[in-house]
Amino acid sequence: MHGADDNSGLTVLAGEGQSGSCMMAIFPSSHRALPSDCQMLLFSATFEDSVWQFAERIIPDPNVIKLRKEELTLNNIRQYYVLCENRKDKYQALCNIYGGITIGQAIIFCQTRRNAKWLTVEMMQDGHQVSLLSGELTVEQRASIIQRFRDGKEKVLITTNVCARGIDVKQVTIVVNFDLPVNQAEEPDYETYLHRIGRTGRFGKKGLAFNMIEVDKLPLLMKIQDHFNSSIKQLDPEDMDEIEKIEY
């Protein structure tokens, strides 16, 4: 439909699961050319302010259905956090978790490309099947990496927020926040956190989310816990008995 000259026969126009810029690109800028009885629908786990403002301009008197914040995090995702001193400490904790539980495929999120590249090198040196996905890659390179991950050729996908939305791989059983998502004000990025952990527990399956946290970042995680009214349990990475008891 996008780019078509004649929209007069259009009855329903829908956008689902997109970021603000993508969502707005779906809908024609010349929305006034749409039939007056055209039904317009927007669906997403979260909506940025820009999307709300855009929707108010093109959809008169909308019906809005919103979940409460505490309903946004899926009950089938168990959330944990591990207190660490530095990134090497985080990596050791990650290795302990890998040694204690059965993992299908995993997505590990880093806040910066530097951390993502460092972690990729560390894991590859230890013999893990790892791929790296970051914003500096071309669209074709990203598509190839994601397809290889879908096909199970790599068991671990390390990425920045470029992969926080829109990838559905049912084999993903674990999501790791190697770094917490924060905004420019160094406050929790609640929307990105929700999208990140939502990469597991897809299609009604159960999943696990682990947060690697420096002590000074713990207040940020507690804000996330309070924001979603969810339970994020502390995990001792040295207690292998406790790790082995973790269930999906």
**Single-letter residue type at 10:** L
What pLDDT does 132 receive? 95
Q: In this structure, are residues 201 and 76 in contact, taking their beta carbons and an 8 Å threshold?
A: yes
Q: Which residues contact 224 (CB under 8 A, 6 or more apart)?
A: 180, 188, 190, 193, 232
Give me the pLDDT at residue 13, please: 62
Residue 3 falls inside a structural domain: no
Cα radius of gyration (the chain)? 20
Instruction: With respect to residue 63, please indicate whether it lies within any of the assigned structural domains.
Output: no
Q: Which of 38, 58, 78 is the last residue of a domain?
A: 58
Please write the tens of the pLDDT for every residue from 97-153. Answer: 988 887 789 999 999 999 999 999 999 999 988 999 988 888 899 899 999 999 999
Number of domains in the chain: 2
1 pLDDT tier (thresholds 50, 70, 90): very low
- The mean pLDDT value for 16-28 works out to 53
Grade residue 14 by pLDDT with cuts at 50, 70 and 90: low
Residue 96 has pLDDT above 50, yes or no: yes
213, 110: one domain: yes
Residues 31 and 82 in one domain: no
Residue 213 structural domain: 70-244
Same domain, 125 and 220: yes
Is 65 among the domain residues?
Answer: no
- Tell me, yes or no, whether 87 and 157 share the same domain: yes
Q: Are residues 43 and 104 in the same domain?
A: no
- Of 184, 195, 214, 22, nearest in space to 107 by CA: 195
pLDDT of residue 234 exceeding 90, the answer is yes
